[in-house]
Amino acid sequence: MYHTWMRYFTPSPVHHRLGLVCLGVGLQHGTLPTVGPRTLDHHVAVVINSGRGWLREPDGRDRTVVAPALLWLVPGVPHHYGADPETGWDESFVDFTGPATTTYTELGYIEPERPLVPLADTAGARAAVGRIARAARRGNPLLEVETGAAVHELLVALRRARADLGRDGDPVLQALARDAFRPLSVAEHAARHAMTAAELRAAVRRAAGCSPKDYLLGIRLGRAKELLAATELPVAAVARRVGYDDPAYFSRLFTRRVGTAPVRFREQQGRTVPGGWSDRIPDPDDPPTIGPAGAA
């Protein structure tokens, strides 16, 4: 016995240009019928919320699926899976496609080489699927955009929920972020983690989808932008604050990556923050606001 609900969509060509489009969504539970063997021309994320079952890989090996888990079904790769006939399982699935899948794969959010991914929990993924399901009401004029946006959210939620990452993310990335403004080479960063430079590059590529140099550069330039926008520090002082002793090199690097020179970036922002720049992340449920007129 099983229960199922699903909807399928046909986004227009213009919606495909958004990068990701949702082709379908489903919520099912119970002793579901076996799926496949079959091959699809698009991606499907199957989130197993509870229960257990099996997945047959392309080489014919069977793997046990124990919730919480994710099944990645990717275009052109045969798949065959099913819930345990005794216990069944509870699943959510989202079909999607679009040019952004290539970039998400490059960044490690979609993992074709890992058809079965253990998850720490499915709360974030279920919330994203829920948004797609609510948007799927008949006659919703925002259907394609709402569901496409939720696919982006789903991919982030699944990446964050991977069981091989801690709740706060990859410890190597956390350590790199802490040391980002120190004038250290990649080899020196690696040595601090008792790793070779090659091992560090592999770890960062796996966790962030980029090289250690690019990961550190993103953090440094983000902080440089904050200092340029919110303070009157000279560019040379900003460069030193973010780990560059040579201000000319910093300016060239900033210009190449950002597309405008540091001085020009500051001019475009057109403001300073006399009260200071806070590093505290606002509470979304209690954001900073301007008080009522006349309030102290």
Same-domain pairing of 144 and 215: no
Q: What is the structure's pLDDT at 166?
A: 54
Same-domain pairing of 92 and 225: no
Rounded to whole angstroms, the Cα distance separating 48 from 59 reads 22
Q: Is the pLDDT of residue 262 over 50?
A: yes
The 10s digit of each residue's pLDDT in 220-234 is 999 999 999 988 999
Q: Give me the mean pLDDT over the 17-28 stretch.
A: 96
- Domain assignment present for 288: no
Provide the pLDDT confidence category of residue 294 given band limits of 50, 70 and 90: very low
Same-domain pairing of 187 and 145: no
- Domain assignment present for 282: no
The 10s digit of each residue's pLDDT in 167-219 is 555 788 888 989 899 888 889 998 988 889 999 888 888 778 788 999 999 99
User: Secondary structure of the chain in the HEC alphabet?
Assistant: CEEEEEEECCCCHHHHCCCCEEEEEEEEEECCCCEEEECCCCEEEEEEEEEEEEEECCCCCEEEEECCEEEEECCCCCEEEEECCCCCEEEEEEEEECCHHHHHHHCCCCCCCCCEEEECCCHHHHHHHHHHHHHCCCCCCCHHHHHHHHHHHHHHHHHHCECCCECCECHHHHHHHHCCCCCCCHHHHHHHCCCCHHHHHHHHHHHHCCCHHHHHHHHHHHHHHHHHHHCCCCHHHHHHHCCCCCHHHHHHHHHHHHCCCHHHHHHHHCCCCCCCCCCCCCECCECCCCCCCCCC
- Domain assignment present for 189: yes
Same-domain pairing of 111 and 250: no
Rounded to whole angstroms, the Cα distance separating 62 from 261 reads 56
- Domain assignment present for 286: no
Same-domain pairing of 185 and 118: no
Rounded to whole angstroms, the Cα distance separating 30 from 3 reads 6
Boundary residue ending a domain (160, 191, 208): 160
Q: Is the pLDDT of residue 275 over 60?
A: no
| Other C-beta atoms lying within 10 Å of the C-beta of residue 132 | 26
Same-domain pairing of 120 and 152: yes
- Domain assignment present for 242: yes
Q: What is the structure's pLDDT at 58?
A: 81
Number of structural domains (the chain) is: 2
The 10s digit of each residue's pLDDT in 67-110 is 999 999 999 999 999 999 998 999 999 999 999 999 999 888 99
Q: pTM of this prediction?
A: 0.78
Rounded to whole angstroms, the Cα distance separating 211 from 214 reads 5
- Domain assignment present for 26: yes
Same-domain pairing of 100 and 37: yes
- Domain assignment present for 55: yes
CATH of the domain at 132: 2.60.120.280
Provide the pLDDT confidence category of residue 277 given band limits of 50, 70 and 90: low
Phi and psi for 34 in degrees, rounded to 5?
-65, 140
Same-domain pairing of 150 and 230: no
* Domain around 201: 171-269
The 10s digit of each residue's pLDDT in 124-175 is 999 999 999 999 998 999 999 999 999 999 999 999 898 776 555 578 888 8
Same-domain pairing of 97 and 208: no
- Domain assignment present for 50: yes
More confident residue, 138 or 54: 54
Say if residues 47 and 93 touch (Cβ distance below 8 Å).
yes
Boundary residue ending a domain (105, 136, 160): 160
Same-domain pairing of 139 and 175: no
CATH of the domain at 233: 1.10.10.60
Same-domain pairing of 121 and 214: no
